[in-house]
Amino acid sequence: MPSRPGAPAFAGATWLAVLAIALLAPSAPAQLRSDARVSAGGIALSSPWRAAVYAHAREKLLHPAWGWRHSERDFLIARRIAREEGLAIDEDILFAAAFLHDSGAIPPFAKDGVDHAVRSAELAEPLLRKAGFPMAKFPAVKAAIIGHMFDRKAGASDEAVVLHDADALDFLGATGIARRLSVTGDAPDMDSVLARLETVYREIPDRLVTGAAKRMSIPRLVAMQAFFEQLKRETPGPVPL
């Protein structure tokens, strides 16, 4: 694995502890806080439409890798990127896009032959309209959803850029490893899963747009490198890394 210049090496025990925390976290949705105006991750549900979208995500968007917890992390990471980059984002646009961007990848909403981002945008419009979202902002939500994946060009708006980078960062680090391992039920073997992880590890850094996201990626990449190196030590025979 290539080293990141200037990045400190993680001791094996360090990455193992971090990964264990991620893997042992409860897979079932956490209980709502007693204060229904705040999400499980501390995001303010400051309007009826936000509360409705969040409730929809908690009830319907259940998936270990693409579900509501991922959406919540994306929103929080994107907001941090915006703050560090000095971007004055519209949090209505970011909230709607972050919580609905992967809905088209989750049964029963996924549709065969339709790209999950396109499907997510299709699903988002009627849901947001019914919830009372200010629909003049929907074109920006749609653009952010369509361009959220790391292997696509981010939309032109600041909201689209920070969501794109946040979504990419959530593929990295202990969280990224845990997410990938959580969806290996139909994989033929572990080697194929590890090969995909290696591809993500190599591709994502060059696809990040903002300086903030690039800085935030470094400790995540170091953790992944330590994981791969430890795996090589534990695995007999060649490892596809």
Please state which of the ranges 26-35, 36-45, 222-231 shows the lowest mean pLDDT: 26-35
Question: What tokens does 29 get?
Answer: 């949705």
Specify the 3-state DSSP secondary structure of 127.
helix
- Cα–Cα nearest to 74, from 86, 60, 52, 57: 57
Specify the 3-state DSSP secondary structure of 163.
helix
Contact partners, residue 209, CB within 8 Å, separation at least 6: 154, 161, 164, 165
**pLDDT confidence of 13, banded at 50, 70, 90?**
very low
CATH architecture under which domain 38-234 falls: Orthogonal Bundle (1.10)
Give residue-wise pLDDT tens across range 93-147. 999 999 999 999 999 999 999 989 999 999 999 999 999 999 999 999 999 999 9
Give residue-wise pLDDT tens across range 139-196. 999 999 999 988 788 888 999 999 999 999 999 999 999 998 888 777 777 777 788 7
Question: What tokens does 147 get?
Answer: 């361009």
Specify the 3-state DSSP secondary structure of 9.
coil
| Termini Cα distance of the chain | 7
pLDDT at 19: 52
Residue 172 backbone class (left: φ over 0; alpha: ψ -120 to 50; beta: rest): beta
Q: The dihedral of CA 71, 181, 63, 186: what is its sign?
A: positive
Mean pLDDT rounded to a whole number for the chain: 85
- Extents of the domains making up the chain: 38-234
pLDDT at 11: 44
For residue 33, is pLDDT > 80?
no
